[in-house]
A and B are shown apart, each in its own frame.
Chain A
Amino acid sequence: MRRLCAALALLGVTVLAGCGNGPNQEIARTMLAQARLSVGKSPQAPAPLAGLTRAQVDALGVPLLRVTAIKLKTQALVGVYGTNGPVTTWSTTDKTSIALNGGIVVATRGLPGDLMSAAVPSLAEIAAGAGVLARTHYYLGRNDQTEPVVFRCTLADAGAEQITVVGLAYRTRHVTETCVSGSQSFTNDYWIDARVTLRRSVQWISPQTGALEIENLVN
């Protein structure tokens, strides 16, 4: 902390940062983090979780998801943070959370361009593997106002696929959901097993965050 103060004073960073016991320490940390990024170091690679084994997952003994933010190049294990009816909120230890309804993302918090709320198809509707559905995402848009983005989504069945999630193999059906709203488009991928449980998915969140790969580590 004292070193941080000295460094900032030396840098002559005016108006923006400093030190003390107030709530503004976060700013100093952010500035240093951005300074580090700007000198070329990339954020931590997702390496630590890549070697995760089923034995380690079982040893933890709690429901877990492995979430990979593909564009942001980060990966984390998330555990249950709260439950509201059919929606479960999952969080990392440093409080980045995603809320899933039957595995489908309905909100995120702590990611760039958070999905504030959403009206999305149910897993059962997606599992049908055909048809055209609507999906509405709500974001804090221009001037922090809540703005809906309405997507028109087309489902397609990409056939049976066997996938492996941390040492366990699942026979799944691969369903794709291709969504378009104006010039914006994305494709979500769902791997659904015979019990209509989502084992793995790639779901698009926002332009800033891109897509999350979500792997269900619950047996």
Chain B
Amino acid sequence: MRFWRLFSLSLGAFLLTTAVAGVRAARADGVGTPPSLSFWGVPGLIDMPSAETGPDGEVTASVSSFAGISRGVLGFQITPWMSGTFRYSSMRRFNTSFPTTYYDRSFDLRFHLVDEGRYVPSVTLGLQDFIGTDLMSAEYLVATKHVTPALALTLGLGWGRLGSYGSIGSTFGTRAAHGGLTSTGQPNVKQWFHGPVAPFGGLAWQVNDRLTFKAEYSSDAYVQETGKALLDRRSPINLGVEYALTPSTRIGVYELYGAKIGVSLQVSTDPATRPNSLMGPAPVPVAVRPPEAANPDAWSPDWVRQPDAVTILRDNVARQLKSQGLELDALAVTPDTAELRIINPVYDSGAQAIGRAARVLSQTMPASVETFKIVPMANGMPVSQVTIRRTDLERYEFAPNGDLLLRGHSDLGLPDPLPATAARGVGLYPKLSWALTPYSRISIFDPDNPLRADFGLRLSGSYTLAQGLILSGSVTKKAFGNLDQTTRASNSQLPHVRSDFARYNAEGDPALESLQLAWYTRPGPNLFGRVTAGYLEQMYGGVSAELLWQPPTSPLALGMEVDYVKQRAFNDRLGFQSYSVGTGMVSAYYTFGGGYFARIDAGRYLARDVGATLTLSREFANGWTIGAFATKTNVSAAKFGEGSFDKGIFFRIPLNWLLGVPTQSAIGTVIRPVQRDGGQMLNVNGRLYDVVRQYQSGDLDGEWGRVFR
């Protein structure tokens, strides 16, 4: 039962999206429905994989169970030819001592080598549990061909687990035994495609849009499981039937290995497809100026000589911006130019905010003002400047594909310095905003209980004292939960910089999550700066300083950060423990285009270890992000402990994608197979790259279509 609880909660956010969604993009190639998943959560038959591949970007979640063996799996089609899988498995009665349930985390990679053609089958190479224990590991080469549109045949060769029954020979000698728990997390390259190899295969018959029958011959002997009397493997033949409740949700019932009944649930979603349309009030229309020849007075630049012109215009602009959900930071005007600095607390799309600001300027500026310079502000910093000719705005408001035409005639560059004559926004400083929200804190993969969680209320506030100077903090109070029941103590040989997380979770009630003063500044044309001091995160307080080099149209950004922090007391109030450390990082960020993003951080981590982190992610223009990271430092695998090095996956789902309404909020989390102390960074809020990227060319151009929304 624990496993089902884990599934329902840990994939809760995901299921919510698909439940709200209930939609799914049709397959691009138009061949049948998306592939159904095996008990291992990858495209496949029942317990065997197939060569089928999901649509690019597809995210899948599945849970399956038979004979006390349950697997919960998240899958992501990273590129059209590569997919990744994270799997959490549990086997009841596997261990003889408490806890008797064995839990296992594993990662797969699949490479789609050949697309299905008229005569050619699709071919996929799979690495199952490729950095794990040898308990789940397997490699396979598999081909699938649709004999008719409804009938697909699959034939494959497997190694490892998939070579354990009915092998027809061996390749590359014997398969070395893996080193056990201490060497988990190392790529088991020396095992790949070694040892006995066995054929497997089967067929899937899709009767109609909803019903599919499956039959397969399994080459997995379930050696460990039968040895522990989990399973009595009487037959290699498995049979099953699946039913699609919706195009994105499937359930299945199976008969496995001649002895057991199994069930599975599979859901999928396409991050590029919104479940709900982009909504929110219409923008104010563009106000078109009268022709100059017919109305020369309206075009006279004499208005600029009126002494209070700029303050009157500022008040008009501020009022109209407010109706669009935006705020005015400053306005400067000349007879032919308006420079408007805006604060955008609502729209997740920078282009949408800029488009609305341009419309407001068209409504308010005298006719002689031809150039609109719009500067979005982030935490008090002018980030970039979009220059739009008013004539273009008027011309392209209703032009077919007008957003693209407007972008072609607009410039993105560095913000101009604000002239001394500029009128500043009224009531910006000091300014308090606060929120009372529910919160949840979840701990997964504790061997005693794979899911613990607390639920309660979080009071958060931010007080902007002056431009770029922000005091903020948050407090949580638990209402109910079981995080305080964790009994496992960290066995880490390193300073316990993160592995005492359970004590913070148990003792921090109420918890002062953070209380910090942050100062943001622009020290140079392409430079952004931040200094933050205070209680920075759940486990550390101190000082953090950061510098970022990010030209507005460069795909590359470089940053550096130095922190001096002290470990906080477990009760998350004002006290500290004795451990203190200076950490520092240099970082490089690069957007490859097409939504692929890479980041490298190198430096000194919290446990005084030295090394580097590589982060790769796929970022959709709508804000969906899915990625993975790995950190290797000078801590040896043995000293690091289970997992050998720090790694994990993360995702972020914007609420705007989910609900359609204007909001910058998102849900997301980082999932680590195991939380240890090596390669850990400080979790300071408001790092510069995330603060400014919304208004740089990558994010702005990715969503430019929303400029007229």
Contact = CB atoms under 8 A, between A and B. Distances in A.
B400 A136 contact: yes
Contacts of A24: 435, 663, 665
Interface of B: 13, 20, 25, 272-274, 276-288, 325, 345-346, 349, 394, 397-404, 432-440, 455, 457-458, 460, 479, 595, 620-622, 655, 659-665, 667, 702-703, 705-706, 708-709
Contacts of B665: 24, 27
Given A14-B439, A142-B25, A21 B433 contact: yes
A52 interface: no
Given A14-B439, A82-B287, A138 B457 contact: no
Interface stretch (A43-51, A116-124, A194-202): A116-124
A189 B432 CA distance: 54
Given A26-B661, A34-B659, A142-B25, 11 more contacts: A17-B438, A20-B435, A81-B285, A84-B398, A85-B398, A96-B281, A116-B709, A117-B399, A117-B400, A143-B272, A143-B595
Interface residue range, chain A: 35 or more
B280 to A, nearest CB: 7
Interface in A91-113: 91, 94-97, 99, 101, 106-107, 109-113
A114 interface: yes
Contacts of A113: 277
Nearest to B396: A117
A164 interface: no
Contacts of B655: 16, 27
B279 A19 contact: no
Nearest to B435: A20
A109 B282 contact: yes
Contact of B709 (A18, A27, A109, A148): A109
B592 to A, nearest CB: 16
A107 B398 contact: yes
Main secondary structure of the interface of A (DSSP, over half): mixed
Interface of A: 5, 8-9, 12-24, 26-27, 30-31, 34, 81-85, 87, 89, 91, 94-97, 99, 101, 106-107, 109-114, 116-119, 136, 138, 140, 142-146, 148, 208
B277 A112 contact: yes
Contact of B438 (A13, A112, A117, A136): A13
A140 B705 contact: yes
A108 B685 CA distance: 39
Contacts of A15: 13, 437-440, 667
A26 B663 contact: yes
Nearest to A28: B437
Nearest to A87: B398
A106 B274 CA distance: 23
A113 B274 CA distance: 10
Given A85-B288, A95-B282, A22 B434 contact: yes
B269 to A, nearest CB: 13
A47 to B, nearest CB: 24
Nearest to A95: B281
10 contacts: A18-B436, A19-B436, A20-B436, A22-B435, A23-B346, A27-B661, A95-B281, A99-B285, A99-B398, A119-B400
A83 B558 CA distance: 46
A119 B440 CA distance: 49
B438 A8 contact: yes
Contact of A84 (B283, B286, B460, B663): B286
B438 A106 contact: no
B398 A27 contact: no
Nearest to A113: B277
Contacts of B438: 8-9, 12-15, 17-18
Given A14-B455, A110-B279, A117 B272 contact: no
A34 B19 CA distance: 12
Contact of B659 (A27, A97, A143): A27
A72 to B, nearest CB: 11
A14 B665 CA distance: 13
Which among A17, A81, A143 has the highest number of chain B CB atoms within 10 Å?
A143
Contacts of A16: 655, 667
A83 B398 contact: no
A10 B437 CA distance: 11
A181 B667 CA distance: 37
Nearest to B404: A146
A27 B439 CA distance: 16
A84 B667 contact: no
A149 B702 CA distance: 20
Given A20-B436, A142-B25, A117 B659 contact: no
Nearest to A11: B438
A140 B279 CA distance: 12
A52 B435 CA distance: 44
B80 to A, nearest CB: 14
Contacts of A22: 345, 433-435
Given A15-B440, A84-B285, A114 B398 contact: no
